[in-house]
Chain A
Amino acid sequence: MAGIGFELRKLVETRTLRGVLGAAFSGILIVAGPWLISAASLAAAQRLPFLAVPGIALEFTGAMVWALAISICASAAPLYIFVRLSADLIYESRKGEAATLLVKYAAVSALVSIPVGLGLALLLVVEPLSSLLLVLAFALLLAAVNALWAAMVTATVIHKYGRILLAYGLGMVLMYFLARALGPSMGAAGALLGLAAGYALTALLLILASIESLGREPCPDAFRRLRAYAGRYGNLALAGLFYALGTWIDKAVLATFGGVAAPGTRFYVNPGYDTAFYYANLALIPGLVFFTIVTETDFNLDLRRFIGYLGHRRQPEIEGVKTRLIRDSALSIVQQSAFQAVIALGIALVCPLFASSLGFPIAVFDRLLAGGVFQLLLLTALNMLFYLELYQDAALSALTFLLSNFLMSLAACLWGRAAEAQGLPYLAACALSGGLAVTLAFRGLHRFDRIVFLRASGESFGN
């Protein structure tokens, strides 16, 4: 998203209140617009009268959470490979091919998702005969969400934020009205179908916007190229997979051991913890905006300058730029972390005022807020490792996140301390893996000149 960061920075550099507020507002819309609109739409849908029935609400929430989690985890590896190939095509000014690749990828991932979704739903819905509609709705939702991920990623490069927000808005309006229309007769399945249709419409509109902006050219052998990229950037795919699993694994473990599911389904959820996590994640938005405008953009500029110097400049000049790159990156990370910590602290101080209406323990929420500070650190460092193409280190960091979160959550559940430990595994895993990722990223920066020359010699390193 460094390109977006450049544009927002122009607004900030006007040094006017309007510019700064505009940049902040635009940043929030870009990094969290779809997220916020979805949340608002879901919140609105959940207030529909038929979803007020506890069983139906739980069925809807459970199926939706599981569909999103499965989709994020299952599509992470191919999605990262897709993103890498798309980015390369766009960098090589083959934008029309990138648009075609998006169409093919979104279509195939949606088509593949339907039988997979049906199979999974048949496993998760215990009484299939009476819930065939729910099974079908689950599969369609999975297909729509999988297509949406690819469309969202590609849409970030077209720089038509109004069109993007419009696509989300229209999708969510469709979702709301369809859920309202189908819900009374179909229950949770109707709401899910509405959600799936909303996501599908959003994906379709984003794809059309991308095609309009990027053009359309044949992209022959798209899947052969994706396979080749998967072979070449296997660690990138693993990094995506591990990170996605890591973000969900504590929820899955806690829900499995102490969660609840709607009758006749195995869509276990842990409403208190899941809601706390959801709100804590919203607190990441300011940090993500900071990351987009400052950290990533600075890093991108400094890294490009450094790589440029490697080819043409004298050694003292190269060393000077390298020192600056390392120093500025460290400073940005410290500033970003401090900024996010202040935000988290502010929210933590305000939260007790609304404790009675939140529906989750404040202590758990505080842990998740603290964990968010480290998760942002992990995300930032992973992003740096991606820029340096040190995918092996990125995969290692993400695996650390996954394993530590999983093992600590499991240990807490096995010792019967799941309730007390809620949020702690996530906090510890984020801190551990964030620290590791930052260490690896700076190790990579320190020897990046060597790595660049090694790669220029035809050798691979860290891919």
Chain B
Amino acid sequence: MRVCLVIEGSYPFITGGVSSWVHELIGGLPEIEFVLFTFSPQAGQEVRYKLPPNVVGVTDVVLTRSAAKDGSRRRRAGSKERVRGILASHIRMFAGNSPRLEELIGAIPEGTPIHREAVLDKRAWRFVQAQNRGRNPLYAYSDYFWAWKSSHDLIFNVLAARAPEADVYHSLSTGFAGLAALAAKLRRGKPFLLTEHGLYHKEREIEIRKAAFVRGYQRDLWIRLYARVARMCYEGADLCTSLFEENRGYQLELGAAPGKCVVIPNGIDVARYSVERVKKDGDFHVGFVGRIVPIKDVKTFIVAAKLVLERLPNTVFHLVGPEDEDAPYALECHRLAEDLKIADRLDFTGRANVLDYYRFLDVVVLTSVREAQPLVILEAYAAGIPCVSTDVGNVSELLEGDRRFMAPSKDSGKIAEGIEYVLEHPEEMAEMARHNRERTVATYEKKELLARYGALYSRFESPGPRIGPAAPGGGA
């Protein structure tokens, strides 16, 4: 059996939670062949993982690739029909109806970039102008045009990409990866499995609203586009899995059929993280495990460290994770530590074996502004370490809603209080660590996760009733 994992902006080029999950999934199902169908912002990215032997192929598509380099200069046969089909779908969408996916995706055959046709075709051009008149009448036409062009170029690149042959297309998000998997399903007649860790369209919306350079109509267009693509993916997927119930609710809200949505929580290799704990010198050791990137809000962690050190000067803070993904941000973090005069108490380890740190850390802290179901908390639990975290994603469920250890986003004061509470209540923490470990073994064991995905793949492979948009149903 061959599974095509459709991934945008993570494995195997970027390390992190989703990438680790994918790596573990592939490694844990050696009897299944995997092909990776990845979408990247740029070409030639370094592969950050040693690919397991059952990865039999990697097809990387550069999202921003100019179609001019793909030989799209010449108008191809069927151009008029393609444009007509695409316009018909758009008209349906703008009228508030769901597009006919077969019609829309079928209008753009694999390997046929239509960037050029979309601008040069008279009807397409008039359609864009008509939309501009209706939606953006007060501002410069070029603003509308570039918003439309940049967003649709990405979609055209995705839909023109040739998907590897596989028995199942398993996308790790909605967005462009989901759209590619949906296209592959419709073109190949193979099932489409959608797994979401976070909620891609919500994450993009937050980014767009925060980005200063995306304004006015452009902002609205991008947000609507991501929501529309997410809806198409939910409606078109044969099965949607999410990590926790709250996210499943969002999937249902955006059009996924209840019978097609299941929760499969994250899982870790509990035995691997069950390290023998040691007490390292007389200091109190606080750990941050993750990439040094803005989404992890490392600066809040550093400010919290400052607050803790004012009361508990014998504390050491270890930041265990690579700094090369966003080097300018990492540099800012170092400077902040220097400005706060706590650099000597902060240990930026860079890329390191987390097990070496789980042996002696007294508390693991997570300050992310966005997470789904963070593996680092599960790893810490397996290692018997209490956690303090911002209240994002599924953290509340993992921390059983205990407000003593949760803080709103960016609240370094509350994070510091949580750390101090752990330090000041060692007996309670020991008891809590045992409890959390038991919960992890019972609910978040990797073997269980692998078994469920293995079963899902087998089910899709079996020659039973075809799962498709016309015949929904068939949950896990």
Which residues on the B side are within 8 Å of A15 (C-beta)? none
Are B66 and A315 in contact (CB-based, < 8 A)?
A: no
A311 near B140 with CB under 8 A, answer yes
Contact with A along B114-149 (1 / 0, CB 8 A): 011001101001000100110001111110010001
The answer to whether A460 and B138 have CB atoms under 8 Å apart is no
Determine, out of A79-87, A240-248, A447-455, the stretch whose residues face the partner at the interface.
Answer: A447-455
In angstroms, Cα B119 to Cα A313, docked, is 19
Confirm or deny: B215 has a beta carbon within 8 angstroms of a beta carbon on chain A.
no
A315 and B141 contacting across the interface, CB-CB below 8 Å: yes
What size tier do the contact residues of chain A reach? 10 to 19
Do A453 and B138 contact each other (CB < 8 Å), given the known contacts A459-B68, A459-B73?
Answer: no
Verify A311–B142 contact, CB threshold 8 A. yes
Q: Select the residue from B68, B72, B139, B142 with max chain A CB neighbours within 10 A.
A: B142
- B87 proximity list for chain A (CB < 8 A): none
A314 to B122, Cβ gap below 8 A? no
Residues of A within 8 A of B133 (CB): 315
Residue B369, interface by CB 8 Å: no
- Tell me whether A447 and B132 are in contact (CB under 8 A): no
Residue from B119, B129, B139, B142 in contact with A454 in the complex, judged by beta carbons closer than 8 Å = B119
**Contact A454 B66, beta carbon cutoff 8 Å:** no
Residues of chain A contacted by B115 (CB below 8 angstroms):
457, 459
Q: Which residues of A contact B122 (CB under 8 A)?
A: 447
B68, B119, B149: which contacts A460 (Cβ < 8 A)?
A: B68
Chain B 61-73 per-residue mask, 1 if CB under 8 angstroms from chain A, else 0: 0000011100011
Which residue on A lies nearest to B122, using beta carbons? A447
Interface residues of B in 43-80 (CB under 8 A from A): 66-68, 72-73
Closest residue of chain A to B119, judged by CB?
A: A454
A45 at the interface (CB under 8 A from B): no
Cα of A315 to Cα of B115 in the assembled complex, Å: 22
Q: Chain B residues near A312 (CB, 8 Å)?
A: 140, 142
Any chain B CB within 8 A of the CB of A461? yes
Q: Please encode chain A, from 306 to 320, with 1 for each CB lying within 8 Å of some chain B CB and 0 for all others.
A: 000011111100100
Interface size counted on chain B using CB atoms at 8 A:
23
Among residues of A, the one whose C-beta sits closest to the C-beta of B132 is: A315
CA–CA, A430 and B293, complex, Å = 68
Known A-B contacts A315-B132, A315-B133, A450-B125; A461 and B120 likewise in contact (beta carbons under 8 Å): yes
Q: For residue B119, which residues in chain A have a CB less than 8 angstroms away from its CB?
A: 450, 453-454, 457, 459
Chain B residues lying within 8 Å of A315, measured Cβ to Cβ, are 129, 132-133, 137, 141
Q: How far is the CA of A442 from the CA of B142 in the complex (A)?
A: 23
Known: A450-B125, A457-B115, A459-B68. A313 touches B140 (CB 8 A): yes
Contact A314 B141 (CB under 8 A): yes
Given known pairs A312-B140, A459-B73, A460-B73, the reply for A454 and B116 (CB within 8 Å) is yes
* Chain A positions 426 through 463: 1 when the CB is less than 8 Å from some CB of chain B, otherwise 0: 00000000000000000000010011011001111100
Separation of A311 and B144 alpha carbons in the complex (Å): 11
- With both beta carbons as reference points, the residue of chain A lying nearest to B137 in the complex is identified as A314
A195 CA to B66 CA in the complex, in Å? 54
Contacting residues, chain A, for B138 (C-beta < 8 A): 314
A451 to B116, CA, bound (A): 10
CB distance from A252 to the nearest CB of B (A): 35
B interface footprint on A278-317 (CB within 8 Å = 1, 0 otherwise): 0000000000000000000000000000000011111100
Q: A311-B142, A312-B142 are in contact. Are A457 and B137 (CB under 8 A)?
A: no
- Give the Cβ gap from A311 to chain B, nearest Cβ, in Å: 6
Q: Roughly how many angstroms separate A318 CA and B143 CA in the complex, as a whole number?
A: 13
Q: How far, in angstroms, from A142 to B142 measured CA to CA in the complex?
A: 51
Question: Which chain B residues lie closer than 8 Å to A447 at the CB level?
Answer: 120, 122, 125
How many Å lie between the Cα of A314 and that of B142 in the bound state?
8
A312–B140 alpha-carbon span in the complex (Å):
5
Q: Is the CB of B141 within 8 A of A313?
A: yes
B residues in contact with A314, CB < 8 Å: 137-141
Chain A neighbourhood of B149, CB < 8 A: 453, 457
Say yes or no: A310 contacts B125, CB within 8 Å: no
Tell me the complex Cα distance, A398–B73, Å: 23
- Chain A CB within 10 A, most for which of B67, B140, B141, B153: B141
B140 touches A459 (CB 8 A): no
Q: How far is the CB of B138 from chain A (nearest CB, A)?
A: 7
Complex CA distance for A87 and B119, rounded to whole angstroms: 29
Give chain A interface residues in 126-159, CB to chain B under 8 Å. none
Nearest-Cβ distance from residue B123 to partner chain A, whole angstroms: 12
- Shortest C-beta distance, B118 to chain A (Å), equals 10
Q: Tell me, in angstroms, the Cα distance from A310 to B143 when the chains sit together.
A: 10
Neighbouring A residues of B67 by C-beta, 8 Å = 459
Contacting pair B120 A318 (CB below 8 A)? no
Task: Name A310-351 residues within 8 Å CB distance of B.
Answer: 310-315, 318
Taking the nearest CB of chain B, how far is it from the CB of A232, in angstroms?
A: 13
Give the CA-CA distance A311 to B137 in the complex, in Å: 15
> Given contacts A459-B68, A460-B73, is CB(A454)–CB(B120) below 8 Å?
yes
Residues from chain A with Cβ under 8 Å of B68 in the complex: 458-460
Q: In the complex, A460→B67 CA distance in Å?
A: 11
Looking at the assembled complex, report how far the CB atom of A56 sits from the nearest CB atom of chain B, in whole angstroms. 56
Q: Which residues of B contact A310 (CB under 8 A)?
A: 141-142
> In the bound complex, what is the Cα–Cα distance between A310 and B67 (angstroms)?
23
Provide the residues of chain B in CB contact with A450, threshold 8 Å.
119-120, 125
Name the CB-closest residue of B to A313: B140
Q: How far is the CB of B126 from chain A (nearest CB, A)?
A: 10
CB distance from A326 to the nearest CB of B (A): 16
Taking a contact as CB atoms under 8 Å apart, the answer to whether B66 and A458 are in contact is: yes
Q: How far is the CA of A447 from the CA of B138 in the complex (A)?
A: 23
CB distance from A255 to the nearest CB of B (A): 41
Bound Cα distance A318, B137 (Å): 12
Complex CA gap A208/B116 in Å reads 47
Q: How far is the CA of A367 from the CA of B195 in the complex (A)?
A: 78
Question: When chains A and B are docked, how far (Å) is the Cα of A310 from the Cα of B115?
Answer: 20
Contact B145 A453 (CB under 8 A): yes
Q: Which residues of A contact B142 (CB under 8 A)?
A: 310-312, 453
Residues of A within 8 A of B72 (CB): 459
Q: In whole Å, how far is A8's beta carbon from the nearest beta carbon of chain B?
A: 35
- The distance in angstroms between the C-alpha atoms of A453 and B153, with both chains bound, is 13
* Distance from B69 Cβ to chain A, minimum over Cβ atoms (Å): 9
Residues of chain B in range 180-218 having any CB-CB distance to chain A below 8 Å = none
Taken together as a complex, chains A and B put the C-alpha atoms of A214 and B305 apart, in Å, by 65
Closest partner residue, chain A, to B121 (CB atom): A450
Q: Given known contacts A457-B149, A459-B115, is B141 in contact with A318 (CB within 8 Å)? A: yes
Nearest Cβ distance between residue B151 and chain A, in whole angstroms?
A: 13
Q: For the complex, what is the distance from the CA of A318 to the CA of B132, rounded to whole Å?
A: 13
Residues of B with C-beta under 8 A to A454: 116, 119-120
The 8 A CB mask of B142-184 against A (1 = contact, 0 = none) is 1001000100010000000000000000000000000000000
| Minimum C-beta distance from B150 to chain A (A) | 9
CA gap between A66 and B433 in the complex, in Å: 100
B70 to chain A, nearest CB (A): 11
Alpha-carbon gap, A460 to B115, bound state (A): 12
Name the residue on A nearest B141 (C-beta). Answer: A315
In the bound complex, CA of A435 to CA of B73 (Å): 27
In the complex, A314→B72 CA distance in Å? 30
A89 to B254 Cα, complex, angstroms: 56
Q: Given A313-B140, A314-B138, A459-B73, 4 other A-B contacts at CB below 8 A?
A: A314-B141, A318-B141, A447-B125, A458-B66
Give me 28 A-to-B residue pairs in the complex whose CB atoms sit less than 8 angstroms apart, sorted by A's number: A310-B142, A311-B140, A311-B142, A312-B140, A314-B138, A314-B140, A314-B141, A315-B129, A315-B132, A315-B133, A315-B141, A318-B141, A447-B120, A447-B125, A453-B119, A453-B149, A454-B120, A457-B115, A457-B153, A458-B66, A458-B68, A459-B66, A459-B68, A459-B72, A459-B73, A459-B115, A459-B119, A461-B120
Q: Which 10 A-B pairs have the closest CB atoms?
A: A315-B141, A459-B68, A454-B119, A458-B66, A450-B125, A312-B140, A311-B142, A315-B132, A459-B116, A458-B68
A residues with CB within 8 A of B: 310-315, 318, 447, 450-451, 453-454, 457-461
Point out residues on B near A: beta carbons under 8 Å: 66-68, 72-73, 115-116, 119-120, 122, 125, 129, 132-133, 137-142, 145, 149, 153
